[in-house]
Amino acid sequence: MSQGPELIITEKDNAARRIADILSGGSAEAERTRGVNVYTWGGRRCIGLSGHVVGVDFPPEYDDWRDVEPVELIDAPIDKRPTQENIVSALRLLARTAGRVVIATDYDREGELIGKEAYELVREVDDDVPIDRVRFSSITEREVTEAFATPDDLDFDLAAAGEARQIVDLVWGAALTRFLSLSARQLGDDFISVGRVQGPTLKLIVDREREIEAFDSEDYWELFADLAKGDSDAGDDPDGAFEAQYFYHDDDGTEAERVWDEGAASGAYETLETASTATVDSVRRRTRTDDPPAPFNTTQFIRAASSLNYTAQRAMSIAEDLYTAGYITYPRTDNTVYPDDLDPRELLDAFVGTRQFGDDAESLLDREEIDPTEGDEETTDHPPIHPTGELPGAADLDDDEWEVYELVVRRFFATVADPATWEHLRVVAAVASEGEDLLLKANGKRLVEPGYHAVYPYSSASESFVPDVREGEELTVTDTSFEAKQTQPPRRYGQSRLIETMESMGIGTKATRHNVIQKLYDRGYIESDPPRPTRLAHAVVEAAEEFAERVVSEEMTAQLEADMQAITRGDATLEDVTRESREMLEEVFEGLMESGEAVGDHLRESLKADRTVGACPECGSDLVIRQSRQGSYFIGCDAYPECTRTLPLPSTGKPLLLEETCNDHGLTQVKMLAGRKTFVHGCPLCQAEAADAQEDRVIGACPDCGTDHGGELAIKQLRSGSRLVGCTRYPDCDYSLPLPRRGDLEVTDGVCEEHDLPELRITYDDEDRESWALGCPICNYREYQAEQAGGSELESVSGIGEKTAEKLQNVGIDDVPSLKEAEPDAVADRVDGVGPDTVREWQAKAD
């Protein structure tokens, strides 16, 4: 019987720290073993893994894609290998001296598997140390103490269910991915992948695009009238004016607003236009309650953050940081029911007295009863996302982090707030006509009790005004309008809508869905935001639909889920499930191998179509986007070397082909993706022709070589679309200054005394945009560089992000010295959302 210390293993470091803290009563100390935190106290040690620390893969002899037929992967052996060497070796080291081991990974299927992986690593070094499993729904004193008092055994069936998933996913994913990549001869970084989750996700996007492409729009008309109360001059009482819409009852008696026949529409409009009054036909008032939202799970959090313009990736990355810093709970959760041990009053109390949340917290605490909302999903691994009650100082977070933190806090507030009450008012008025009366309707709504809207400003609480009227009342028609419209195709999925749909289809998990979307971007399957599928994506989905329908269908996940449950219950084994799945894949390959060539051709054609800009003006072949050996992009003729026609592209960014084409040349418009510097380059041939037509405008002597070689500075328009002031002796002299890409450049009479160059001015064709003085190009460039440095200087103070730096600059604080000299109260008065304490914190940090 071993006497060594007890070793507790958790899924992540954060959980290890908190559990050690609870079990040790705060006395645990962190030590480092092989670079991994180990929390130690009394006779116990606690180590956190990093999720899976071992992974499944084929043996190395299967690594070369060309040497192995993809079909051989179906029955290839599968190994488990450490993927996190340092954690694995720390675990082995600690296990050698342990007298007892307790697995305390997350309470879900994947957690059970991670626990079993730890179990096997321990068993490698000690085959008889007792190993227990503890399960708890949240890391709180009560739950954790109770779980450790009543230890259980690992559930090997549950873990096997997870292993079956690993094997099925690897075999299908790897075999099909290699097959498609080989058939299209795409073996580098641009391989062509498919899998159980990315497949159906991609099909979702492609199917929507097919609907859009097949959509035929229809014409229809809508009629509106402005109505006003009162017998007096209606125009004197704008408060009483409201808009009403014409409607009718169609054949089956349902209400309709769209008029599909132009003749009928203009007939009705003639009557409406000539009418001076309408009589109130009916008034209906209803009171509706608007319940506060459920607590945040990952998907709903991403959705709310996306309405604040965060991408799914960005929102999760910020949430991760807030979690690691201790301000919010674990951000990857399906749970929408707060655990019993969350005391809303206690959590609200934590916000009392704070500048941003104090008043709202107090007003929520003021009520007799606090009853949090609940969603439909209740799980055992993590609570819904909520603030921990540990508050960040204003300087601890940058602007984006603060905005997301506030969202999480206010969502918690909303879930414990009261419902809102709306009053809906529907008015129907009739305009007399020779035939049947014309009907007009207006729907008003008024927020009577703001309820949760008072603390949660993210969901719409906009009102629409319709005045109090009574039946039979005469209203004045003050204006009418007749609008020709067209039915619109369905909209593309946005990222958060895609994630919601994946969730409802049961594909992916809370921790992976946003990564799957990123993967589709990385593979060249989707572009832009909202994502639009490439031709390659269409081809991959088409190939899968024909030969491997399962891998683009949600059915595969549903079946796997059922199989995993059978394994968990003990009704099936891992071997049963994986054997059956392999057999199915064998069948898929029978069809696929016969048509491999055709599939490959189609994929290659689509890849080319994604890069094709249009017809070569020289020879009529395709102009395609290519990459030079240095990595820069250009457009070249596909008939190269017979045709050597090329067109340059801007040096910044990655080209994206837009849907619009150039009216003059029929070439596709190009957009350059470069993060915040993204811009539309337009038609590459127009750009090149414009540059050829524009002569260089000499403005003075070159400061580098003017004296020695007589070089001159000229304004140049490059064929790649950029504009600069550069030396006429280029390439012998490469002196150059950047100029803005947009606007017309005017050389003024003003002269810079320092550099003896004319001052420049930028004007725009667009009348709404004001022209501005760029000045001497050398001075301008110098200022630009100083500005870059200045901006980043304020941002070097922790807690000041780009937006805050901008606000501070607006009140004259443009560098660190001026920030330090500033009077905190004065700054707080003038800068929105900043308090004097915050300014003092910045000043302290700036020292």
CB of 12 to DNA, least distance (A): 4
Q: What is the rounded CA–CA span in Å between residue 839 and residue 393?
A: 11
For residue 114, give the 3-state DSSP assignment. Answer: helix
Q: Which is nearer to DNA, 11 or 712 (CB)?
A: 11
> Shortest approach of DNA to residue 198 CB, angstroms?
4
Per DSSP, the chain holds a count of helices (H) and strands (E) of 25, 31
Applying CB under 7 A, which residues contact DNA? 11-14, 48, 50-53, 55-58, 62-66, 73, 83-84, 106, 108, 110, 114, 165-166, 169-170, 172-174, 177-178, 181, 187-188, 191, 193-199, 320, 324, 332, 507-512, 515-516, 519
- The residue (of 63 and 483) whose beta carbon lies closer to DNA is 63
Q: Which CB sits closer to DNA, 454 or 516?
A: 516
- At closest approach, how far in Å is the CB of 567 from DNA? 15
Q: How far is the CB of 171 from DNA (least distance, A)?
A: 8
User: Under the phi-then-psi rule, with left for phi > 0, alpha for psi from -120 to 50, and beta for the rest, what region is 608?
Assistant: alpha
- Please say whether the beta carbons of 725 and 687 come within 8 A: no
- Least separation, in Å, of the C-beta of 505 and DNA? 12
Taking a C-beta distance cutoff of 8 angstroms, is the pair 296, 385 a contact? yes
SS (HEC) of 189-211: CCCCCCCCCHHHHHHHHHHHHHH
Beta-strand ranges (E) seen in 62-199 are 79-82, 100-104, 131-133
Q: Calculate ∠ Cα 10-317-34, nearest 5°.
A: 40
Q: For the purposes of burial, counting CB atoms within 10 Å of the CB of 844, is it exposed (0-12), middle (13-18) or buried (19 or more)?
A: exposed
Nearer to DNA, 17 or 602 (CB): 17
Contact 249, 298 (CB under 8 A): no
Smallest separation (angstroms) from DNA to the CB of 538:
18
Provide the minimum distance between the beta carbon of 491 and DNA in the complex, in angstroms, as a whole number. 25
The Cα–Cα gap between 105 and 158 comes to 13
Least distance CB 540 / DNA (angstroms): 11
What is d(CA 660, CA 654) in angstroms, rounded to the nearest whole number?
18
Min CB(376)–DNA separation in Å: 19
The smaller minimum CB distance to DNA, of residues 23 and 507, is found at 507
Count of all residues that appear for the chain in the document = 847
| Nearer Cβ to DNA (64/369) | 64
The span from the CA of 564 to the CA of 158, in Å, is 8
Query: With contact defined as beta carbons under 8 Å apart, do 722 and 731 qualify?
Result: no
CB of 673 to DNA, least distance (A): 21
Choose between 32 and 470: whose C-beta lies nearer to DNA: 32
Strand partners, 761: 746, 773
Neighbours of 75 (CB within 10 A): 10
The residue whose two tokens read 């293993």 is 9
330 is catalytic: yes
> H or E segment at 532?
strand 532-533
Q: Which amino acid is at 290?
A: D
Place of tokens 């072949």: 621
CA distance 675 to 671: 12
Shortest distance in whole angstroms from residue 84 CB to DNA: 6
Q: Which residue, 172 or 413, is less far from DNA as judged by CB?
A: 172
Q: Report the distance separating Cα 563 and Cα 571, nearest Å.
A: 9
User: With respect to DNA, which residue has the nearer C-beta, 133 or 332?
Assistant: 332
b/e 24-62 (16+ beta carbons within 10 angstroms → b)? beeebeeeebeebbbbbbeebbbbbbebbbbebbbeeeb
Cβ atoms of 130 and 101 closer than 8 Å: yes
* DSSP label of 246: E
Supply the minimum distance, in Å, between the C-beta of residue 507 and DNA.
7
Is residue 277 helix, strand or coil? Answer: strand
Q: 196, 560 in Cβ contact below 8 A?
A: yes
Q: Which string of DSSP letters, residue by residue, matches 469-515?
A: --TT-EEEEEEEEEEEEE--PPPPPPHHHHHHHHHHHT-S-TTTHHH
For DNA, the closer of residues 185 and 677 by Cβ is 185
Pairing of strands 131-133, 100-104: parallel
| Burial of residue 509, with CB atoms counted within 10 A of its CB: 0-12 exposed, 13-18 middle, 19 or more buried | middle
Closest CB to DNA among 62 and 465?
62
* Residue 175: partners with Cβ closer than 8 Å, 6 or more residues away: 70, 71, 73, 74, 585, 589
Report the residue number, 101 or 556, with the smaller CB distance to DNA: 556
Report in angstroms how near the CB of residue 195 gets to DNA at its nearest: 2
Question: Strand 255-256 and strand 241-249: pairing?
Answer: antiparallel
Choose the catalytic residue: 107, 330, 405, 452: 330
Which residue, 58 or 465, is less far from DNA as judged by CB? 58
Residues 6+ apart with CB under 8 A from 411: 293, 295, 296, 301, 304, 385, 386, 456
Active-site residues, by number, are 330
